[in-house]
């Protein structure tokens, strides 16, 4: 799959096709839960704070992540969790924990020492009837053959070697 006028910036180093988004830094209002695709990709690849774009917080326990609380979903969570949410710095973690609507249902601060890039989230297509048909929103790993039929909009990391470090407004 490709864009008819595809350029060098449309694919990443893994060959994944990326959705095209307008880049206008400093214009508009931040929307929680709707991180700009190019900004998300940069933050995930460089482990930058998802809110301010600065360095995420790191200590001997690992990089700081703020996520919804899914401890009831499986034993050992969050180890092995896939996330599209980039890490955070301390000041932004505290602010987001208070202000982000999706975190009001419960959140945790997690430290991860190992967090490999494992895939992408995007819209997957399949050939059908002489044109492309939308399969839907999917998460594809880099080694999944269907990733070549996906137009990505988010990078996915897997959190490993994790520890929950807080559940309130303070990640320390």
67 and 126: one domain? no
pLDDT per position as a tens digit, 95-136: 888 888 888 888 999 999 999 999 999 999 988 888 889 999
Asked whether residue 85 is assigned to any structural domain, the reply reads: yes
Asked whether residue 172 is assigned to any structural domain, the reply reads: no
pTM, 2 dp: 0.85
| Number of separate domains in the chain | 2
The helix or strand, by DSSP H or E, that contains position 95, with its residue range, turns out to be helix 90-99
Quick check: 86 and 44 in contact, CB under 8 A? Answer: yes
Asked whether residue 19 is assigned to any structural domain, the reply reads: no
82 and 144: one domain? no
Task: Find the domain containing 110 and state its range.
Answer: 34-116+154-166
């Amino acid at each position: 799959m490709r864009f008819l006028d595809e350029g060098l910036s449309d694919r990443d180093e893994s060959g994944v096709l990326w959705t095209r988004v307008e880049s206008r830094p400093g214009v508009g209002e931040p929307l929680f839960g709707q991180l700009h695709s190019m900004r998300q990709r940069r933050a995930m690849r460089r482990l930058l704070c998802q809110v301010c774009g600065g360095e995420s917080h790191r200590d001997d326990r690992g990089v700081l992540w703020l996520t919804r609380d899914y401890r009831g979903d499986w034993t050992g969570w969050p180890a092995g969790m896939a996330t599209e949410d980039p890490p955070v710095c301390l000041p932004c973690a505290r602010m987001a924990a208070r202000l982000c609507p999706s975190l009001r249902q419960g959140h945790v601060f997690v430290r991860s020492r190992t967090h490999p890039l494992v895939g992408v989230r995007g819209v997957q297509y399949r050939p059908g009837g002489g044109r492309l048909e939308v399969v839907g929103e999917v998460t594809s790993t880099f080694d999944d053959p269907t990733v070549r039929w996906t137009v990505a909009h988010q990078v996915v990391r897997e959190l490993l070697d994790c520890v929950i470090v807080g559940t309130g407004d303070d990640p320390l």
